[in-house]
A and B are shown apart, each in its own frame.
Chain A
Amino acid sequence: MAVEQENGDPGKIRPAVEEDISEEMEIKVKKYLRGEGANLEVLQDKKLKGKLAAREKLYGKSAVAAAKAEKWLMPTEGGYLEPEGIEKTWRIKQESIAREVDISSTRNQYDIILPELGPYSLDYTSSGRYMALGGRKGHLAIIDVKSMGVTREMQVRETVRDIVFLHNELFFAAAQKKYTYIYSREGIELHCLKEHGPVLKLQFLKNHFLLASMNKFGQLRYQDVTTGEMIGCYRTGQGRCDVMRVNSFNGVVATGHSGGTVNMWKPTTGAPLVKMLCHQGPVTSLAFHPNGHLMATAGMDKKIKLWDLRKFEVLQQLPGHAKTMNFSQKGLLAASTGSFVQILGDLNGSNKYSRYMNHSMAKGYQIQEVVFRPYEDVLGIGHSMGWSSILVPGAGEPNFDSWVANPFETTKQRREKEIRSLLDKLPPESVMLDPSKIGTVRPTKKRNKPTKLEREAELEAAVAAAKSMPLKNKTKGKNKPSKKLKKKYEAVDRAKKPFLEKQMEEENPTKKKRKTESVADELPKALQRFTRKKPAT
């Protein structure tokens, strides 16, 4: 974790040697280079080589500049929690954290008790400034978290299953009993999205301006919120599903189903991009790491699994239930079940998650949703008795970028940003598993010849398949064991035939071809086209 890197071991004071700094810078530069450069050695074209070399040099320079800016110009330092002596981080209570941190931060620790209206689902805007709350019994609220003021609060007198902000705090969508509605910040109902049906889960794709919804019948719908066009409606075909999460790295929507599979969808194709069997039993929740390569799933089989999405492999398997999970910007994973929240962290940068913090709500509070607040060390918890907020040091990104998400945004800046983000709105086709593929050339497919071992294995498999084919019972006289045996042999021979033919062809290289060539080769090139061709049979 970056927190650990920056602060290092508190026990010993590191001398500020240049090597140390350069090593640290190298790691940072690598981050900004965004992968390997082009391999110029293999290029034949000198002009292109020169151009690319100049380009690569520029990339290097900009990465170094960015790394330097990160090292010296960042205004805020990240949070951290370091135990001393035999202390363990997960034994540290919120109360003891509250005693240590400054007063303004303690304002982020609170419980709001609204026992009649819960459980609450919640969502933050991308800057972390505003929070939307949807109580199951129809309570909708927009809260300015910075000033702790209620922007708007209303009662829709209907079941509210999920709430989600659209591109900024001015609009939010709520999945209600029958339909989904879009409200403005003032609480005015702007749209009623009847086509979506009774929606269980909502997600918003910020770059694409798409509202994704999963309804009771297991239909996944994408609607463009700028034009109102329905981009796609796909049946998942796996029954009711209320586990859905968008991977902000590439815009792929993942759904977790009761059969234990996780499917990943893009808006323009009806079949899922990926179907992976993650659990033996229903999937209860899933979450994506902000870098897009790590997915956490939890199932009823009492397992929490961490997946590498580049290889689709399990990285780590942890015991435990989780009804809801969420990754923070710095990669902490909050998982909660019942009234208990566990926060896992990749503490020594080894990609192994271990427990970092624990938090228990009062007995009987059923947690509905946990969401990390962006750019803050705060975890928001929506539960059956209201909502709470706790401090999780080291969770949020300490430095925001004014052009990406600004917690101190003014009205004018918000308006300008809205226009800009609309101009940069991505087409739905740009959702793909690896978004860095855009603008690259697909490598030519090389057809590799199968090795001898592979060929033999194939042959054996084909023979085994032919042998195991059950024979039908025939009429009397045709059902003799000898005949059956003969038939079996024939089937094996038939299965072997193509392989043997291919082998023959390779051993005696192109006898036929040589024959035809020999006639043509003798003639001068101009006369070659007059050689008699074999009549097509």
Chain B
Amino acid sequence: MKVKVISRSTDEFTRERSNDLQRVFHNFDPNLRTQEKAVEYVRALNAAKLEKVFARPFIGAMDGHIDAVTCMAKNPNNLKGLFSGSADGDIRLWDLANRRTVCHFPGHQGAVKGVTVSTDGRILVSCGSDSSVKLWSIPTDTVMDTEDSSSDTPKPLADYVRTNPNFRAVDHQWDGDLFATAGAQVDIWDHNRSQPVNSFEWGVDTVISVRFNPGEPNILATSASDRSIVVYDLRMSSPARKLIMQTRTNSIAWNPREPMNFTAANEDCNCYSYDARKLTEAKCVHKDHVSAVMDIDYSPTGREFVTGSYDRTVRIFEYNAGHSREIYHTKRMQRVFCVKFSGDATYVISGSDDTNLRLWKANASEQLGVLLPRERKQHDYREAVKNRYKHLPEVKRIVRHRHLPKPIYKASALRRTMQEAEKRKEDRRRAHSAPGSMPKESVRKRRIIKEIE
């Protein structure tokens, strides 16, 4: 007879000294964990609820400007630094960590319409409605860290005034010396020249936004008030292609991870993601705002972008999702004119008509600060179970729920009614017309009028 029974000595399964860690043993046998699906579901539900409990996205407001904030620029070389220009001609450098102004750049006579920073983080370019382009030297880190040094006001390195007034936007090339301004035409400037090195014109209307491609430094996209989006290539003497939509595009942002794609913030409350190589059809239409989208900025991860709208809200979208993931609003925030994702994809900054910049978390319920490994594991686990059971009605309801300001709630309901009515009407028209004479047009194509090469 051979016989053995389970026999465990206490020493093997417990710690030797009281300052040792307790020993942990695993047995992943499914029979030991009964009803694991139900338990996971309960955990998912709890995780969803906890997420709502901890959703406190607003970190703080940065006030100091005395007129509406019109434009912002992040410093590619410094996470904390953020430049903002306001309608009274003031440019400020903010320290995001302390939420304080570090220095001012006085000089513009009218509203500042665009600011941008060179990729090496040394030179700030600003332009305004006083038809001047100014180049500033950015104070170094050491200056930023010392106390408020507003006493030694920096002087512009260069100040170029153009005859045709009203600059509307400026953007700096990635990894280069060029920058582009938008106004009556698109001007390409060099740091060391007092005159534009190149000028592009296509049509007669004002160009309102300009953005360089992060992947290919010679390509830039602009939008103009004649409802067009134009893609330029600096290596060619004329613009590359043009797309005309039914409504104006207020701003453009390139996806930093997929640099052939850009998203246009449109006046018709939607954002349209395009592939720059194929402008006949939008890749995705991002709906949710109830008023014109004023500005858009991509997260450095390229997976999501933030938009600011005239309806006084900031929304965060997934790059391929039709509807927003998050909406931020406060009672005091007015029309949002500019938004930026921070360089580490953790924060969102919005500048609005009420002269304030606001700092938000990109994930409303994220725990800030250094996480212990166990905390991080716990967060990851919660995220995973929530993701696994997100389709179940109860979890879905809790995760999707957002409080909306009443005007927005009403406006979105109204928009929905209008769209449904429009659709009904179109269906009837189609039914009453000769078969095939009114083909169905997808939403992704409907707002495009034509593409010109």
Q: A75-B25, A404-B33 are in contact. Are A427 and B3 (CB under 8 A)?
A: no
A31 vs B25: C-alpha distance when bound (angstroms): 19
The reply to whether A401 and B431 form a contact with Cβ atoms under 8 Å apart is no
The reply to whether A427 and B432 form a contact with Cβ atoms under 8 Å apart is no
B 1-37 contacts with A by CB, 8 A: 1-10, 12-14, 22-35, 37
The reply to whether B3 and A393 form a contact with Cβ atoms under 8 Å apart is yes
Asked if A74 is an interface residue, CB under 8 A from chain B, the answer is yes
The reply to whether A399 and B27 form a contact with Cβ atoms under 8 Å apart is yes
A 439-497 contacts with B by CB, 8 A: 439
Q: A105-B7, A393-B4 are in contact. Are A525 and B431 (CB under 8 A)?
A: yes
The reply to whether A100 and B3 form a contact with Cβ atoms under 8 Å apart is yes
Residues of A within 8 A of B38 (CB): 207, 426, 430, 435, 438
Q: Which residue of B lies closest to A63 (CB)?
A: B28
The reply to whether B389 and A404 form a contact with Cβ atoms under 8 Å apart is no
A31 vs B28: C-alpha distance when bound (angstroms): 10
Q: Which residue of A lies closest to B28 (CB)?
A: A66
The reply to whether A69 and B26 form a contact with Cβ atoms under 8 Å apart is yes
Residues of B within 8 A of A21 (CB): none
A20 vs B215: C-alpha distance when bound (angstroms): 54
Residues of B within 8 A of A87 (CB): 1
The reply to whether A82 and B35 form a contact with Cβ atoms under 8 Å apart is no
Asked if A345 is an interface residue, CB under 8 A from chain B, the answer is no
- Counting chain B CB atoms within 10 Å of each CB, the highest count among A408, A423, A525 belongs to A408
A 338-360 contacts with B by CB, 8 A: none
Asked if B200 is an interface residue, CB under 8 A from chain A, the answer is no
Q: Which residue of B lies closest to A70 (CB)?
A: B28
The reply to whether A84 and B27 form a contact with Cβ atoms under 8 Å apart is no
Residues of A within 8 A of B27 (CB): 70, 74, 397, 399-401, 404
- Counting chain A CB atoms within 10 Å of each CB, the highest count among B3, B8, B392, B432 belongs to B3
Q: Which residue of A lies closest to B434 (CB)?
A: A524
A506 vs B300: C-alpha distance when bound (angstroms): 65
Asked if B283 is an interface residue, CB under 8 A from chain A, the answer is no
Residues of A within 8 A of B6 (CB): 76, 78-79, 105, 375-377, 396, 398
Asked if A39 is an interface residue, CB under 8 A from chain B, the answer is no
A101 vs B2: C-alpha distance when bound (angstroms): 10
CB distance from A396 to the nearest CB of B (A): 6
The reply to whether A81 and B2 form a contact with Cβ atoms under 8 Å apart is yes
Residues of B within 8 A of A413 (CB): 22
A404 vs B26: C-alpha distance when bound (angstroms): 9
The reply to whether A400 and B5 form a contact with Cβ atoms under 8 Å apart is no
A154 vs B2: C-alpha distance when bound (angstroms): 42
CB distance from B21 to the nearest CB of A (A): 12
Q: A32-B28, A400-B25, A413-B22 are in contact. Are A426 and B4 (CB under 8 A)?
A: no
Asked if B41 is an interface residue, CB under 8 A from chain A, the answer is yes
Find B3's partner among A101, A248, A407 (CB 8 Å cutoff). Answer: A101
A222 vs B3: C-alpha distance when bound (angstroms): 43
Asked if B323 is an interface residue, CB under 8 A from chain A, the answer is no
Residues of B within 8 A of A32 (CB): 28, 30
The reply to whether B432 and A425 form a contact with Cβ atoms under 8 Å apart is no
Asked if A537 is an interface residue, CB under 8 A from chain B, the answer is no
A397 vs B33: C-alpha distance when bound (angstroms): 13
Residues of B within 8 A of A430 (CB): 35, 38, 41-42
A100 vs B4: C-alpha distance when bound (angstroms): 8
Asked if A361 is an interface residue, CB under 8 A from chain B, the answer is no
A104 vs B10: C-alpha distance when bound (angstroms): 11
Asked if A97 is an interface residue, CB under 8 A from chain B, the answer is yes
Residues of A within 8 A of B41 (CB): 430, 438-439
Asked if A272 is an interface residue, CB under 8 A from chain B, the answer is no
Asked if B46 is an interface residue, CB under 8 A from chain A, the answer is yes
The reply to whether B35 and A435 form a contact with Cβ atoms under 8 Å apart is yes
The reply to whether B2 and A10 form a contact with Cβ atoms under 8 Å apart is yes
Find B34's partner among A96, A146, A249 (CB 8 Å cutoff). Answer: A249
CB distance from A433 to the nearest CB of B (A): 12
Q: Which residue of A lies closest to B46 (CB)?
A: A423
Q: Which residue of A lies closest to B39 (CB)?
A: A424
CB distance from A344 to the nearest CB of B (A): 18
Residues of B within 8 A of A503 (CB): none
A 358-384 contacts with B by CB, 8 A: 375-377
A66 vs B435: C-alpha distance when bound (angstroms): 61
Number of residues on chain A facing chain B (CB within 8 A): 71
Residues of A within 8 A of B5 (CB): 79, 97, 101, 105, 108, 377, 391, 393
A510 vs B369: C-alpha distance when bound (angstroms): 72
The reply to whether A80 and B32 form a contact with Cβ atoms under 8 Å apart is no
Question: Residue-by-residue, is A81-100 near B (CB-CB < 8 Å gives 1, otherwise 0)?
Answer: 11110010000100011001
CB distance from A335 to the nearest CB of B (A): 21
Asked if A102 is an interface residue, CB under 8 A from chain B, the answer is yes
Q: Which residue of B lies closest to A426 (CB)?
A: B38
The reply to whether A291 and B14 form a contact with Cβ atoms under 8 Å apart is no
CB distance from A228 to the nearest CB of B (A): 20
Asked if A290 is an interface residue, CB under 8 A from chain B, the answer is yes
Residues of A within 8 A of B24 (CB): 402-403
The reply to whether B12 and A80 form a contact with Cβ atoms under 8 Å apart is no
Asked if B329 is an interface residue, CB under 8 A from chain A, the answer is no
Asked if A436 is an interface residue, CB under 8 A from chain B, the answer is yes
Asked if A508 is an interface residue, CB under 8 A from chain B, the answer is no
Asked if A34 is an interface residue, CB under 8 A from chain B, the answer is yes
Q: Which residue of A lies closest to B23 (CB)?
A: A402
Residues of B within 8 A of A31 (CB): 29-30
- Counting chain A CB atoms within 10 Å of each CB, the highest count among B31, B392, B435 belongs to B31
B 36-86 contacts with A by CB, 8 A: 37-43, 46
Residues of B within 8 A of A404 (CB): 27, 32-33
Residues of A within 8 A of B46 (CB): 423
The reply to whether A80 and B39 form a contact with Cβ atoms under 8 Å apart is no
Residues of A within 8 A of B42 (CB): 424-427, 430
CB distance from A364 to the nearest CB of B (A): 29
Find A526's partner among B13, B22, B431 (CB 8 Å cutoff). Answer: B431
Q: A207-B38, A439-B389 are in contact. Are A101 and B4 (CB under 8 A)?
A: yes
Find B26's partner among A251, A401, A410 (CB 8 Å cutoff). Answer: A401
A376 vs B6: C-alpha distance when bound (angstroms): 6
Find B2's partner among A84, A105, A292, A436 (CB 8 Å cutoff). Answer: A84
The reply to whether A104 and B28 form a contact with Cβ atoms under 8 Å apart is no
A239 vs B311: C-alpha distance when bound (angstroms): 69
A250 vs B36: C-alpha distance when bound (angstroms): 10
Residues of B within 8 A of A292 (CB): 34
The reply to whether A435 and B1 form a contact with Cβ atoms under 8 Å apart is no
Residues of A within 8 A of B7 (CB): 101-102, 104-105
- Counting chain B CB atoms within 10 Å of each CB, the highest count among A83, A248, A430, A439 belongs to A439
A34 vs B36: C-alpha distance when bound (angstroms): 11
Residues of A within 8 A of B392 (CB): 439
Extra pairs beyond A75-B12, A393-B4 (5, CB < 8 Å): A102-B7, A207-B39, A249-B35, A404-B33, A525-B431
State the A residues within 8 Å of B (CB): 10, 31-32, 34, 66, 69-70, 73-84, 87, 92, 96-97, 100-102, 104-105, 108, 146, 207, 248-251, 290-292, 329, 375-377, 391, 393, 396-408, 410, 413, 423-427, 430, 435-436, 438-439, 525-526
State the B residues within 8 Å of A (CB): 1-10, 12-14, 22-35, 37-43, 46, 388-389, 392, 431-432, 435
- A-B pairs with beta carbons under 8 Å apart, 27 shown: A10-B2, A32-B30, A34-B30, A69-B26, A69-B28, A70-B29, A76-B8, A80-B3, A82-B1, A84-B2, A96-B1, A97-B3, A101-B3, A101-B7, A108-B5, A207-B34, A207-B39, A249-B35, A377-B5, A396-B6, A397-B29, A401-B25, A404-B27, A435-B34, A438-B37, A438-B41, A439-B41
A-B CB proximity, top 7 nearest: A377-B5, A430-B38, A66-B28, A79-B5, A82-B2, A401-B27, A526-B432
